[in-house]
Structure 1
Amino acid sequence: MITEVVLPQMGLEVAEGVVLALPVAVGDAVAEGDVVAEVETDKAIAEVAAPRAGVITAIAVAEGDTIPIGTVLVRIGDSAEEVGAAVALPATEPGDAEAAADAAAADPAPPAPAVDGAAAEGAAAEGAAAEGANGARRRRAAPIARRAAAAHGISLELVTGTGPAGRITLGDVERAIAGDGQAAAAAPPAGGAGAGRLEPLSATRQSIARRLSESQLIPQYTLSRELDAGWLLAEKARLSAAGPVRVGVLDLLLAALAETVSRHRQLAASFVPAGDGEPASYRHPEGVDLGLAVATERGLLVPVIRGAERRGLAELVLERARLVDLTRAGRLGPADMGAASATLSSLGGFGVDSFTAMLNPGESAILAAGRTVEKAVPRERGIAVVPTISLTFTFDHRVVDGAVGGAALTELAELLEGGIEWPT
């Protein structure tokens, strides 16, 4: 029996992924849970595991391929006798993967007859040689490899492909760029030597660029307030000393934001435009799911704390720490990503006093927090130097009116200045 291992759904907004690594080869024996592919989406790097034990009978993709959700990655059979006539299935060109997946689903092909390993290896080598001999044919290369080669002026004709059937991978191009003798630079791109270097965007950077462009289309407004952070810092020290976990300012901001959104439910709503005969509407989530902006080497990512309003402070701290660690390691799961009720972005750790954050499309509120700064403020008996923190709340004006946003910011400030009891 043949089992197809496909790229699974990895979040509501994830449509495709880039194959980073294929740690298995045709003929390899695998156990249930063994990693058969590593894929990068715009949210995370995920490992795809074998659903059962067996033998890899076919590899349907190549490293560097951009493939839609549902694409077959590998096939697993019961024994080596089920290995097909080729070491790897033909890799698709950009735009063909989805069509091929649909066609396979509509009319699945019968298993290929078994052949011996020497014949399979010979067929693959012969196919690669035929392709190399036909100079008129376009060299088979992963899309990301083509972009990298074009950006660096590398001719694919001079790159040795190490992927299935001689396909050129990103690693092949990177080795050529490094000057290992496998390729020579082609003519420089149009624009002359001063045109600069082009850098292909990763899946994460492409997603960030797309969503920020979408954010610009949202009618948003911003409210700001400077708080006395004395109580906040004292509460942080008290809770850290008394509790089982170390509490940070970020954790108290998250707890206060969760409480504020639970009291002002309109902040959690999202705008759904008219379409398909349906009028424009608001979508109201059941609970309070908070996004947290996290800076990583791959770019800005936003994991989501589910049910934040139901968590005690200690549980919130542990969940925040877990998500931040997974985010920076690129190992977020599908349940840790997606839409949030509101998002917190803090640049205090980077020495930023205040800033305005852009809304995530599909959300109606985002809170930006700066660092704590000591300032002189007037008191009844003179001037006092106190720690302050700047908060900036940005809202979707289609969903949150100015009065509602102002009331939410005021209540958030009171929570953080100790004026209201809030759950810990």
Structure 2
Amino acid sequence: MRREFKLPDVGEGLTEAEIVRWHVKVGDTVKVNQIVVEIETAKSIVELPVPWDGVVHGLMAGEGETVDVGVPIIAVDTSEEDAAGGDRTEALSDDMVPSPPPEGAVEPGVHGGPAPKEERQAVLVGYGVKTGSTKRRPRKGGPRPGGPPAGGPAPASGSGSAPASVRPGASGADLSPSQVAVLAKPPVRKLAKDLGVDLAALSGSGPHGSITRDDVQSAADRPEAVPARAAAPAQAAGESRVPIKGVRKMTAQAMVASAFTAPHVTEFLQLDVTATMEAVKRLRTLPEFAEVKVSPLLLVAKAVLTAVKRYPMINSSWDEAAQEIVIKHYVNLGIAAATPRGLVVPNVKGAQDLSLPQLAGELAALTETARAGRTQPAEMAGGTITITNVGVFGVDTGTPILNPGESAILAFGQVRDMPWVVDGELAVRKVTTLALSFDHRIVDGELGSMFLRDVGAMLEEPLRMLAWG
């Protein structure tokens, strides 16, 4: 029995993901829960396991290809015993059109009870996307003869009709015009993409009108006969282009939404942190911190957590629909981390209840996971206030943009030697600059100033954290 594993929603309503790396190839034997592919969503890199034992029949998306949730990505030939004992999915072969799953069927890769009939597709994490919202990317070419206009809506998944993208071998006579699509296997699609050939403009010579490699190659040899896809923007000499996708795309969208939704105000405070730097050195010698990294960021985080207790309104969010301010009585402390994939902001859940050694351990684990690109969507959800450590890049400070859904973010600048007046005399001290951006709908100038001044006071004299804790 041939079974196809569809790309699941691995986050809160994500609609697409990029195939980063396949761990298997055609002909490989796979076991249940074996990791077969790494995908990159708008939030993280996720490893996907296969839900069956069997032999890989085909990889239906190439590395670097963006696939919509609900689209098959791998086909596995399974045994009759596995088919009988696992979740029920119709067998698929090159001469069969997939049938809708029977009522009560469980989506591959999802554990639990029956799948909903109409409301949502099954997912690995989160609530998923609405039925019918997933489809292959709309084509940029003109309409296919007898088919829908390019980019037209696809029929709803599970509606009892064949999906918009039909495997080679499906009979076009059995499908309505709105269900006809280009019939071509993934290697043929890749060849067409590499050669700049528009599959929608070809007439296939394969079984049931499917497009073959020879069809694509012939079209490439006669470029005047087949309109090519829209050419990519010309690349000038000395330039290179980087696709906007994944984490970078999500970050850009979130920052634009935040900047144009919440009225930002930023305040700055320069302070002497000599005592904090000395406290960091002392903590590193204590046995409680032997297994964790202690940095100035640890005490900045502790100061923020302590100040939040005194000024809880800083740890809140704006609910536009309800016209309410939601004050959080817990702190999910976000730490902005720069990674090769872009900026991510995982958060330490329930940070207000952690001891200093526990907080140090959580910060170290969070940073290590982020830099390895393994931060999961759940680890970035639900943040309440954020710290961004721009000092590690050798800059004094910046004007940070709020993480969406939060009302404050603190930038911690570099610590450097500077002349400072101490007891009326000039001295060389360890100095840094803090910058606090806040949502002026929630936090007025007085509250923002008092919160920033309290954080600064604790970093000037770390013992204040004990007195105010």
TM range (shorter): 0.7 to 0.9
Other-structure match for 1:16:
16
Q: 8 Å contact 1:58–1:84 — kept in the other structure?
A: no
**Structure 2 residue corresponding to 1:103, chosen from 141, 156, 162:** 156
**Deviation per CA, 1:101-153, whole angstroms, max 9, x where unpaired?**
x734343879xxxxxxxxx9xx78xxxxxxxxxxxx899889x989xx7xxxx
Q: Please give the alpha-carbon distance, in whole angstroms, between the structure 2 residues aligned to 1:25 and 1:192.
A: 34
Shift of 1:290: 1.1
1:70/1:267 CA distance change after superposition, 3 Å: farther
1:193/1:53 CA distance change after superposition, 3 Å: closer
Give runs of aligned pairs for residues 328-407 of structure 1, distance below 5 A: 328-407=371-450
Q: 8 Å contact 1:61–1:92 — kept in the other structure?
A: no
**1:365 aligned partner, one-letter code:** A
Give runs of aligned pairs for residues 119-138 of structure 1, distance below 5 A: none
**Structure 2 residue corresponding to 1:261, chosen from 289, 308, 315:** 308
| Partner SS state of residue 254, structure 1 | helix
Q: Please give the alpha-carbon distance, in whole angstroms, between the structure 1 residues aligned to 2:135 and 2:212.
A: 10
**1:232 aligned partner, one-letter code:** T
1:70/1:398 CA distance change after superposition, 3 Å: farther
**1:309 aligned partner, one-letter code:** Q
Q: Please give the alpha-carbon distance, in whole angstroms, between the structure 1 residues aligned to 2:437 and 2:307.
A: 14
Q: Please give the alpha-carbon distance, in whole angstroms, between the structure 1 residues aligned to 2:347 and 2:443.
A: 21
Other-structure match for 1:224:
268
> Which stretch of the first structure deviates more once superposed, 333-342 or 383-392?
333-342
Q: 8 Å contact 2:183–2:211 — kept in the other structure?
A: no
Other-structure match for 1:176:
none
Other-structure match for 2:344:
301
1:186/1:46 CA distance change after superposition, 3 Å: closer
TM-score, normalised on structure 1? 0.73
> Which stretch of the first structure deviates more once superposed, 395-404 or 258-267?
258-267
TM-score, normalised on structure 2? 0.67
1:158/1:354 CA distance change after superposition, 3 Å: same
| Partner SS state of residue 366, structure 1 | strand
Is 1:248–2:256 an aligned residue pair? no
| Partner SS state of residue 408, structure 1 | helix
1:80/1:86 CA distance change after superposition, 3 Å: farther
**Deviation per CA, 1:375-410, whole angstroms, max 9, x where unpaired?**
222233522221111111000111212111111112
1:389/1:14 CA distance change after superposition, 3 Å: farther
Other-structure match for 1:84:
92
Q: Please give the alpha-carbon distance, in whole angstroms, between the structure 2 residues aligned to 1:105 and 1:337.
A: 32
1:13/1:397 CA distance change after superposition, 3 Å: farther
Other-structure match for 1:114:
none
Q: Please give the alpha-carbon distance, in whole angstroms, between the structure 2 residues aligned to 1:138 and 1:6.
A: 18
Q: 8 Å contact 1:11–1:338 — kept in the other structure?
A: no
**2:280 aligned partner, one-letter code:** K
**1:219 aligned partner, one-letter code:** P
| Partner SS state of residue 416, structure 1 | helix
> Which stretch of the first structure deviates more once superposed, 8-17 or 202-211?
8-17
1:188/1:51 CA distance change after superposition, 3 Å: closer
Q: Please give the alpha-carbon distance, in whole angstroms, between the structure 2 residues aligned to 1:374 and 1:231.
A: 13
Shift of 1:355: 1.5
> Which stretch of the first structure deviates more once superposed, 377-386 or 248-257?
377-386
Shift of 1:219: 0.4
Q: 8 Å contact 1:26–1:88 — kept in the other structure?
A: no
Shift of 1:228: 1.3
Q: 8 Å contact 1:348–1:370 — kept in the other structure?
A: yes
Root-mean-square deviation (Å) = 4.3
Q: 8 Å contact 1:227–1:413 — kept in the other structure?
A: yes
Other-structure match for 2:281:
237
Q: Please give the alpha-carbon distance, in whole angstroms, between the structure 2 residues aligned to 1:260 and 1:76.
A: 55
Q: Please give the alpha-carbon distance, in whole angstroms, between the structure 2 residues aligned to 1:403 and 1:167.
A: 69
Is 1:271–2:315 an aligned residue pair? no
Larger proportion of helix = 1
Other-structure match for 2:102:
none
> Which stretch of the first structure deviates more once superposed, 325-334 or 64-73?
64-73
**Deviation per CA, 1:334-384, whole angstroms, max 9, x where unpaired?**
321223111111121211112111111211111001111222222335222
Is 1:411–2:450 an aligned residue pair? no
**1:282 aligned partner, one-letter code:** I
Q: 8 Å contact 1:375–1:385 — kept in the other structure?
A: yes
Other-structure match for 2:36:
36
Shift of 1:158: 11
| Partner SS state of residue 371, structure 1 | coil
Task: Identify unmatched segments of 5+ residues in structure 1.
Answer: 111-119, 125-136, 160-164, 169-184
**Deviation per CA, 1:60-93, whole angstroms, max 9, x where unpaired?**
5444443344554446564179763239999964
**2:273 aligned partner, one-letter code:** A
| Partner SS state of residue 285, structure 2 | helix
Q: Please give the alpha-carbon distance, in whole angstroms, between the structure 2 residues aligned to 1:197 and 1:395.
A: 36
| Partner SS state of residue 293, structure 1 | strand
**1:33 aligned partner, one-letter code:** N
Q: Please give the alpha-carbon distance, in whole angstroms, between the structure 2 residues aligned to 1:206 and 1:59.
A: 26
Count of matched residue pairs: 369
Other-structure match for 1:156:
196
Q: Could you tell me the percent identity over the aligned residues?
A: 30
Q: Please give the alpha-carbon distance, in whole angstroms, between the structure 2 residues aligned to 1:230 and 1:75.
A: 61
Q: 8 Å contact 2:68–2:136 — kept in the other structure?
A: no
Q: Please give the alpha-carbon distance, in whole angstroms, between the structure 2 residues aligned to 1:167 and 1:311.
A: 61
**1:301 aligned partner, one-letter code:** V
1:166/1:256 CA distance change after superposition, 3 Å: farther
> Which stretch of the first structure deviates more once superposed, 404-413 or 198-207?
198-207
Task: Identify unmatched segments of 5+ residues in structure 2.
Answer: 84-90, 99-133, 140-150, 170-181, 200-209, 214-227
| Partner SS state of residue 103, structure 1 | coil
| Partner SS state of residue 221, structure 1 | strand
**1:414 aligned partner, one-letter code:** A
Q: Please give the alpha-carbon distance, in whole angstroms, between the structure 1 residues aligned to 2:391 and 2:62.
A: 42
